[in-house]
């Protein structure tokens, strides 16, 4: 067993063409989250009542190492992976494989975000900004959020020390076009802002493109993710070597 303290890994996609534009990547799902968003794509992996178990770190590293010549990088997702100090060990081990690393975050852990950037453990950060930085944020996130932490994380990324994007998931009853514009103004000057709809619950691609054109006045580039957000169903690699799809 590698290391005495490892993050709770709940799932792995060993090869994906859709989780990082232009790259073939492995995707590792770290359990645990401090938010309870209604549109979460993986509540079955990160909730307190999760019954998926944990995948040994050795098994995850072995799966990625065996595929290192056929993938470009690794995406670390949650939940919120930066909640777990142990994720630093995981990032350090993956660095030794010579692969690019992206981490997805909700921005609630600016100190941890700053640390992984300072230690050059990630090549790309994708941060979801869920709503304008007002009381509305708590409703969308399903819990009380430290808005100062969100603002700090935005500032860290805007400083340009690592490549990054901001993203917002737009779905009915949560965000309006004015809300999206407010977010765009908050991240003014950002290199990349991505809008995405929730499957069957969000605006059409035509509407999203219109929002992207308007938001593009505030950022360097605003793009529409053509894949509507749906429930994540990663394959889990178990210690016995079997692969089974998490339902």
**Which domains can be identified in the chain, with CATH numbers?**
9-161+230-245 (3.20.20.70)
CA angle 40, 190, 19 (to 5 degrees): 40
Residue 227 has a pLDDT of: 61
Rg of the chain's alpha carbons, rounded to an integer?
Answer: 17
Mean pLDDT of 241-246: 41
Distance CA 177, CA 210 (A): 9
Q: What would the pLDDT profile of 121-150 be if each residue is shown by its tens digit?
A: 999 999 999 999 999 999 999 999 999 999
- State the SS3 of 72-118: CEEEEECCCHHHCCCHHHHHHHHHCCCCEEEEEECCCCHHHHHHHHH
Residue 67 has a pLDDT of: 94
The answer to whether the beta carbons of residues 55 and 235 sit under 8 Å apart is no
Distance CA 50, CA 74 (A): 23
Mean pLDDT of 9-33: 92
Residue 224: band (very low, low, confident or very high) from pLDDT cuts 50, 70, 90:
very high
More confident residue, 14 or 204: 14
What is the pTM assigned to this prediction?
0.89
The answer to whether the beta carbons of residues 202 and 171 sit under 8 Å apart is yes
Mean pLDDT of 160-179: 92
More confident residue, 155 or 31: 155
Four-residue CA torsion sign, 230, 40, 105, 26:
negative
């Amino acid at each position: 067993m590698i290391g005495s303290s490892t993050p709770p890994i709940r799932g792995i996609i060993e090869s994906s063409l859709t989780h990082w534009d232009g790259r073939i990547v492995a995707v590792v799902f770290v359990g645990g989250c401090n938010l309870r968003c209604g549109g979460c794509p993986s509540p079955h992996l990160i909730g307190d009542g999760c019954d998926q178990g944990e995948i040994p770190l050795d098994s995850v590293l072995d799966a990625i190492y065996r595929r290192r010549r056929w993938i470009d990088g690794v995406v670390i997702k949650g939940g919120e992976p930066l909640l777990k100090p142990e994720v630093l060990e995981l990032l350090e081990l993956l660095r030794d494989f010579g692969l690019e690393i992206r981490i997805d975050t909700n921005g609630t852990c600016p100190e941890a975000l700053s640390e992984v950037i300072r230690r050059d453990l990630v090549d790309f950060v994708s941060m979801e900004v869920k709503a304008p930085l007002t009381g509305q944020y708590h409703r969308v996130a399903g819990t009380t959020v430290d808005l100062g932490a969100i603002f700090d994380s935005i500032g860290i990324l805007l400083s340009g020390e690592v490549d990054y994007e901001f993203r917002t998931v737009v779905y009915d009853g949560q965000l309006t076009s004015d809300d999206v514009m407010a977010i765009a103004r908050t991240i003014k000057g950002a290199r990349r802002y991505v809008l995405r709809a929730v499957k069957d619950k969000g605006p059409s691609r035509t509407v999203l493109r219109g929002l992207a054109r308007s938001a593009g006045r505030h950022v360097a580039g605003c793009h529409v993710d053509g894949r509507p957000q749906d429930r994540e169903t990663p394959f889990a690699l178990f210690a016995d070597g079997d692969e089974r799809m998490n339902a």
